[in-house]
Amino acid sequence: MQLTVIGTGYLGAVHAACMAEVGHEVLGVDTDAGKIEALAAGRAPFFEPGLPELLTRNTKAGRLRFTTSLAEAANFADLHFVCVGTPQRPDSLAADLRHVEAVADGLAPLLTRDTLLVGKSTVPVGTARALSRRIAARLRPGVEAQVAWNPEFLREGYAVKDTLCPDRLVVGVTTPHADQVLRTVYMSMLRVGVPYISTDPATAELVKVAANSFLATKISFINAMAEVCDASGADVVTLADALGHDARIGRRFLSAGLGFGGGCLPKDIRAFLARAEELQVGEAVSFLRQVDRVNDRQRRRTVELTRHLVGGTFAGQRVAVLGATFKPDSDDVRDSPALAVTAEIHAQGADVRVHDPKGLDNARAALPGPAYCTDVAEACRDADVVLHLTEWRQYRDLDPTLLAQVVRTPRVLDARNALDRGAWHAAGWHVRALGRPAHVPQPGHSDVVRLTIPQAFGVASTAPTAGDPLSGVPK
Ligand code: NAD
């Protein structure tokens, strides 16, 4: 099929490349000429594993081209995916739909044939219907345009895999024709059994915001439990492991720490709150305000615990920060909890040195001031405390014995509860984390002790096993 992808950011660039990869002829469109130039040359303008290879292969094969011209897009295809940004409005919690509306307003008068516009951006429920009316008012006589919604669930860092092998496809359509077009687009995935849920646009729009709200709630739930653990001396990691064994709860998204961020979850739950108010059902989702507040509090708790660790003031203290991006395997620093903590600690007078495997350029642009280091040892040199703020694999693999020789004081705050604190403690570090007692178990003993059934009943005694035998789920 011939199709366009309008908006080639984190979502659109990956969607365009993957649609070409499954055999379609794709034209990517963006208003950012620099981004278009990079993509056309086969270069990904951001870090996403696997994307450069797809761009190179498909641009070379001639299936994937890029342009800044909406007129060229209107001429090229009768199927347009809309992937532009929907950030939070500066003056309220609501989503700013100006980019989506600009695409509709710009494209509609250029259309000369019947067209299907498919939104993939995350939008408030009701957007497709409003957009449909907006477009109809701008079409040339005799031309028809339908609007469908096909929300995207990809995760940065896994975006190529998530797009080529999604766990489900959700399409919100108003006609059998639109449904048939989308089934054809995604034929290669349907053939291998990817679930395809065809519904109305409102339900499709709502699936995305409901999914993000659920994930955000799960994270804030365990972070709220971490606060209770701090107040009571309990251990949130053991608590989460034990809860996670209940199949109805599950262990994923139950890792306490610095909380969520990025270009999606925070603004999506706020936009949902704002839209629910408009629909006069604000009370039904008012818990999302608490979810947002709990999340925000983790950033302040991390700053406060760090200040406490360095003796009550940041003046004259050197703080090493490991991680600037909002999550590992991405260079995205939008609403990054790590960068928010870094900014606050820097503002309070600390000498801050930041390392991140992929996000240094974006972090430096968003937050000039701290020193940015390409090497972990350089960031940690003479540090009074090390903060682990984004759970990149390479930080879990660090040798705490070697790192202890570089810092001034071997203190670490593991704000992601991802380091092997027994090993760090054994290497001489004072280890702290949100929701965990300061006490660290002796080497050779696990944080989590598996009781066999006879043990649990006091029948026999077996030595506890090391590691994390209960979970098997990455922390
Ligand atoms: P982004 O900021 O990386 O990309 C948006 C792109 O749209 C930019 O390149 C921008 O230049 C372009 N754009 C803006 N106005 C335009 C116009 N009028 N015409 C053409 N291009 C235009 O944002 P993103 O992270 O890709 O997110 C896009 C949408 O996808 C959002 O609604 C987001 O919530 C949703 N989403 C994102 C992800 C993710 O992981 N990033 C996942 C699922 C859904």
Domains 2-199 and 214-456 share a fold: yes
Measured between alpha carbons, how far is 380 from 355 in angstroms, rounded to an integer?
Answer: 9
DSSP secondary structure of 204-233: HHHHHHHHHHHHHHHHHHHHHHHHHHHHHT
User: Average pLDDT of 459-464?
Assistant: 29
Closest Cα to atom 37, ligand 1: which residue?
A: 11
Closest Cα to atom 20, ligand 1: which residue?
A: 30
CA-to-CA separations, 21 to 79, 160, 182, 281, in angstroms, rounded:
17, 10, 16, 42
pTM recorded for the entire structure: 0.91
Q: What's the number of CA atoms in the CB half-sphere (13 Å) around residue 400?
A: 21
Closest Cα to atom 3, ligand 1: which residue?
A: 9
Band of pLDDT at residue 445, cut at 50, 70 and 90:
very low
User: Average pLDDT of 439-468?
Assistant: 38
As given in the structure block, the two tokens for residue 165 are 């092998």
* Each residue's pLDDT tens digit, 95-113: 999 999 999 999 999 999 9
As given in the structure block, the two tokens for residue 157 are 């860092």
Average pLDDT along the chain:
93
* Each residue's pLDDT tens digit, 234-246: 999 999 999 999 9
Atom of ligand 1 lying closest to residue 86 CA: 32
* Each residue's pLDDT tens digit, 405-435: 999 999 999 999 999 999 999 999 999 999 9
Tell me what pLDDT residue 241 has. Answer: 97
Q: How far is the CA of 122 from the centre of ligand 1 (A)?
A: 9
Structural domain boundaries in the chain: 2-199, 214-456
Q: How far is the CA of 6 from the centre of ligand 1 (A)?
A: 9
Tell me what pLDDT residue 272 has. Answer: 98
The CATH class that applies to domain 214-456 reads: alpha beta
With the most atoms of ligand 1 within 8 angstroms of its CB, the residue from 80, 264, 327 to mutate is 264
Atom of ligand 1 lying closest to residue 29 CA: 20
Q: What's the number of CA atoms in the CB half-sphere (13 Å) around residue 189?
A: 23
Atom of ligand 1 lying closest to residue 32 CA: 11
Closest Cα to atom 1, ligand 1: which residue?
A: 9
User: Average pLDDT of 335-345?
Assistant: 98
Torsion over CA of 135, 139, 145 and 146, rounded to 10 degrees? 20
* Each residue's pLDDT tens digit, 210-225: 999 999 999 999 999 9
Instruction: Find the residues whose C-beta lies inside 6 A of ligand 1.
Output: 6-12, 29-32, 35, 83-86, 99, 102-103, 121-122, 152, 154, 156, 263-264
Provide the percentage of residues in the chain whose pLDDT is more than 70. 92
| pLDDT of 374 over the 60 cut | yes
Q: How far is the CA of 138 from the centre of ligand 1 (A)?
A: 24
* Each residue's pLDDT tens digit, 130-186: 999 999 999 999 999 999 999 999 999 999 999 999 999 999 999 999 999 999 999
| pLDDT of 469 over the 70 cut | no
| pLDDT of 472 over the 80 cut | no
CATH 3.30.200.20 fits 2-199, yes or no: no
Tell me what pLDDT residue 438 has. Answer: 86
| pLDDT of 331 over the 90 cut | yes
Helix, strand, coil content of the chain in percent (nearest 5)? 45, 15, 45
| pLDDT of 471 over the 70 cut | no
> Is 264 a known active-site residue?
yes
Measured between alpha carbons, how far is 400 from 419 in angstroms, rounded to an integer?
Answer: 10
| pLDDT of 93 over the 70 cut | yes
Q: How far is the CA of 85 from the centre of ligand 1 (A)?
A: 3
Catalytic choice (18, 83, 229, 264): 264
Total count of residues recorded for the chain? 475
Band of pLDDT at residue 440, cut at 50, 70 and 90:
low
Q: How far is the CA of 399 from the centre of ligand 1 (A)?
A: 38
Closest Cα to atom 30, ligand 1: which residue?
A: 121
Q: How far is the CA of 120 from the centre of ligand 1 (A)?
A: 9
Q: Which 8-state DSSP code applies to residue 117?
A: E
Q: Among 230, 119, 232, which Cα is nearest to 170's? A: 119
Closest Cα to atom 11, ligand 1: which residue?
A: 32
- What does the longest C-alpha to C-alpha distance in the chain come to? 84
* Each residue's pLDDT tens digit, 236-286: 999 999 999 999 999 999 999 999 999 999 999 999 999 999 999 999 999
